[in-house]
Structure 1
Amino acid sequence: MPTAKSSKDSPSFTYLIEKKRDGGEFTDEEIRSIVDAILDEEMPEFQQAAWVMTTFFQGMSAQEIAYFAEEMMLSGEVIEMMDVSRPKIEKYSTGGVGDKTTLVLGPLSAAAGVAMPLMNGDDEEFLSSNSEKLKAIPKVKTAMGLEEFSAQVRKLGCAFADLHEEISPVESILYELRKKIGA
């Protein structure tokens, strides 16, 4: 197991990469330090790429995934939906050839009394995102502020919007990096 530590009390980036490469499990503090270092641009892109690849090949435990998802969420603005009285769900696509469910599931969920706020990023090379599909329909608006987005969810039960830079910026950074390195 790697032993190199940085001069501060936090582990070095090399240590964290080696730890995951060797099958180790990150602590909550290590995950927080990785997310913070990516967000604050303290971890060079080449080490981010190495960390992403080792994590891609070694995987993460359920605890690591849960904590990493929470840290990514907390890396930016968090939309509060406490005043939405309906139960709330989220649908996340894991990839594949085209998303065939989101555009149907959002309105169906709203009709069933369940709120489903949806934000969507850019397209994937040969696929169009749901936002791009909706933009092809005259008078459909996907570019909206966070307040307008929240108001639409409260009123209608669902909203489709373009992803905001303020929401989970670390996820966006890692998404772009994954596209560059094939992870």
Structure 2
Amino acid sequence: MMRKKIVSTRKFIKPSFTFLIEKKRDGGEFTQEEIRYIVDSLMDGVLPQYQLSAMAMAIYFQGMSAQETAALAEELMLSGEVIDLSKITKPKIDKYSTGGVGDITSLVLAPLAAASGVAMPMMNGVDEEFVISNLDKLSAIPGFNPELELKDFVQQIKKTGCAMVKQHKEIAPVDEILYQMRKNTGTIPSLPLITGSVLSRKLAQGAEGLVVDVKWGNGSFIRDVEKARQLA
């Protein structure tokens, strides 16, 4: 299931983490190689948390270009397993929601889409700020298993047209490190970090398309309608 990571043959001189923090602090743009270096350093455990926190805060205030965000999504995706659903001929569409009060869209959408001939490979986080997660709701059903191995996840999609399981530890593992740090540093609302995170996971799960359900207001971490439109 793992795709071979393509590494540039050009010589890359590793910058210091301080240089990268200052570059983004001053409004600079990371190269693909620099983003790959950041992700690899997180995977290898050599990027200190205090410098990662400073880098995330710099991104929060300075943002990232579309090219930077795409590179971040790609490198996070390639930090783990990438599921191959090419043998499933149906359109493979996933759905992402920003969450919030009354977020039950996935529970209705997944079976409807499967019945309409769309395959939905869905992995869900269990960290919900406002309400219990969809997986918590589904776990109330006797016999429901939210933790499938990747091969069983693929098999269920082939059989039923959809699967809704807990986020697998081998899918974009570096994104999980980054997400936990964002929770602790107040950088969850960063639009490029949200986008890179979501796309890395959804692409690694085998999705070809994505429906985005953006909540905004007092019941969501996105309080401003303009930011909600930017994310959408």
Q: TM-score, normalised by structure 1?
A: 0.90
Find the partner of 1:78 among 70, 75, 82: 82
Give the residue type in structure 2 aligned to 1:97.
V
What stretches of structure 1 of length at least 5 have no aligned partner? 1-7
Match of 1:61 in 2: 65
* Distance in structure 1 (CA, Å) of the matches to 2:59 and 2:76: 15
Question: How far 1:98 moved relative to its partner?
Answer: 4.9
Question: How far 1:167 moved relative to its partner?
Answer: 0.8
* Distance in structure 2 (CA, Å) of the matches to 1:61 and 1:98: 33
Match of 1:134 in 2: 138
Does 1 or 2 have the higher relative contact order (CA < 8 Å, sep 6+)? 2
The answer to whether the aligner puts 1:124 opposite 2:128 as a matched pair is yes
Q: SS of 2:97's equivalent?
A: coil
Give the residue type in structure 1 aligned to 2:173.
P
Instruction: Identify which range, 144-153 or 98-107, moves more after superposition.
Output: 98-107
Match of 2:180 in 1: 176
The answer to whether the aligner puts 1:16 opposite 2:3 as a matched pair is no
Q: SS of 1:91's equivalent?
A: strand
Contact 2:23 2:29 (8 Å CA) reproduced: yes
Q: TM-score, normalised by structure 2?
A: 0.72
Match of 1:165 in 2: 169
Q: SS of 1:80's equivalent?
A: coil
Percent of matched pairs sharing the same residue: 59
Deviations 1:24-59 (A, max 9, x none): 111111110111011111100111111111112211
Match of 2:104 in 1: 100
Count of residue pairs the alignment pairs up: 176
